[in-house]
Amino acid sequence: MKRTFILFPAAFLMNMNLALVNFAVIFYLKDSLNIEASIIGWYFAAGAVCYVAGCMLMRPVQNRIIPPVAMFIAILLTIFSVFMILKAESPGVVLVFYLLFSFSPAFYWPQLMGWFSYGLDNSGLGSAISKFNISWSTGSLSGPLVGGLLVERNLLFPFYADIILMTSLGLLLAFGLVFVRDMRSFPVHSEPANSLRSADEMINGGRGTILRFAGWIGVFSTYIVLGLLNNIFPLFIRDNMGLGESVAGNLLFLRGVTTAIGFFIAGKITSWHFNSKLMLLTQILTAVSMLILLMVKSITGFYGLFIFYGLLFAMAYSNGIFHGSAGAVDRGRRMGLFESILTMGVIVGSLLGGYFYQYYSIYTAFLFCFALITIGFTAQLVLVRFGRKNELR
């Protein structure tokens, strides 16, 4: 039995937990603590900053901790922080423990991503990344769906569900470590060369392809949109369109379904590997989708655009994670950097999206996303041409 038999379900459970709590926090802050949309954006941005800081600043500490231990630390911190949020009675105390909740996955995702890709060559990496993406994305789509249903019944139910999910995740990892021999094979950070089987699989001396920079720009761009859609848009659905929280959850669920389908397709084909034209096209279509959203006024239209965006998100994410890892020596470090970049996109989307929504409109927020994505496309174009000029892959 391979370690991915445990690690991919572990990715599902963690991301379902994160999506569930983050969805519930939107309405918990609004209804229980009477916090405005722009301040809610600040909460999510602050949480994302904590996660970035964890991925970047805690790297020296994580280098001294083996992946299983780091992941159990993340699970315990998550359970503790959610339990304390349930006990909190003021916005300030909720913020403190929400920041801890957001910081916790910094011990989880880089370690898990480096662990499942350990020892894979570049050809096997693409398939493994696709399966990993399907795992976490199905968790991501399940969280808002379940969260919408639970919030409509009781604002606190999602937090209780989180504690159950995290306990189940801990038991799953413990089971794998005891009964799955391959689970005991994980990267040693002091020996990064173990990430590749031979020097022939390295690109640019182990630095990787220059397309990683263009891929990371695409990930940053799509996560700006994701920060807006996940953390601010549900308020628009309920407060401006007069629909229930479950409708917002259904929209995010559908977006997640198409993303999972996109990841599945990406795992079956390899023509997108090192394909700069497809990467640029994905960025263009993402910008166009933001323009189309400016004209959408009905829930049916939003469903259609969310389906389209879900496919674009899958392509942009696959480009970012694959080109960031392919041919690189220290994949664990690259995964931490990748997580930091996408989280910075969430920060921008949540913070400025909340501001524009409260003081202008959700459509102003869409226009803001379009402008940033267009700037990103320009930067990608320059990077791709620079790479060709210098004959780098």
Contact between 324 and 337 (Cβ < 8 Å)? yes
- Return the residue matching tokens 């995964």: 335
Contact between 95 and 40 (Cβ < 8 Å)? no
Kindly state whether residue 69 falls inside one of the protein's structural domains.
yes
Q: Which of 231, 251, 272, 168 is nearest to 38 (CA)?
A: 231
Domains: count for the chain: 1
Contact between 133 and 321 (Cβ < 8 Å)? yes
- Alpha-carbon distance 17 to 241, whole Å? 27
- Alpha-carbon distance 25 to 298, whole Å? 26
Kindly state whether residue 190 falls inside one of the protein's structural domains.
no
CA 204 from centre of chain: 28
Kindly state whether residue 248 falls inside one of the protein's structural domains.
yes
Q: What is the structure's pLDDT at 188?
A: 65
Kindly state whether residue 311 falls inside one of the protein's structural domains.
yes
Per-residue pLDDT of the chain (393 residues), as tens digits, is: 788 899 999 999 999 999 999 999 999 998 888 888 889 889 988 998 898 888 777 777 777 788 899 999 999 999 999 999 988 888 999 999 999 999 999 899 888 887 887 777 666 777 787 888 889 889 988 998 898 899 989 999 999 999 999 999 999 999 999 998 888 877 665 444 444 444 445 565 556 677 889 999 999 999 999 999 998 999 999 888 888 888 988 998 899 899 889 988 888 888 888 888 999 999 999 999 999 999 998 999 999 999 999 999 999 999 988 888 776 666 667 777 887 888 889 889 989 999 999 999 999 999 999 999 999 999 999 988 876 555 444
Kindly state whether residue 121 falls inside one of the protein's structural domains.
yes
Domain that holds residue 33: 4-185+195-389
Helix intervals (H) in the chain: 4-27, 37-57, 59-62, 67-87, 91-103, 109-116, 122-153, 157-179, 211-231, 233-239, 245-268, 276-293, 299-325, 331-359, 362-389
Q: What is the structure's pLDDT at 78?
A: 96
- Alpha-carbon distance 286 to 282, whole Å? 6
CATH value at residue 202: 1.20.1250.20
Q: What is the structure's pLDDT at 283?
A: 96
Kindly state whether residue 34 falls inside one of the protein's structural domains.
yes
Residues 6+ apart with CB under 8 A from 90: none
What are the Cα distances from residue 137, in Å, to 15, 56, 129, 277?
A: 8, 23, 12, 25
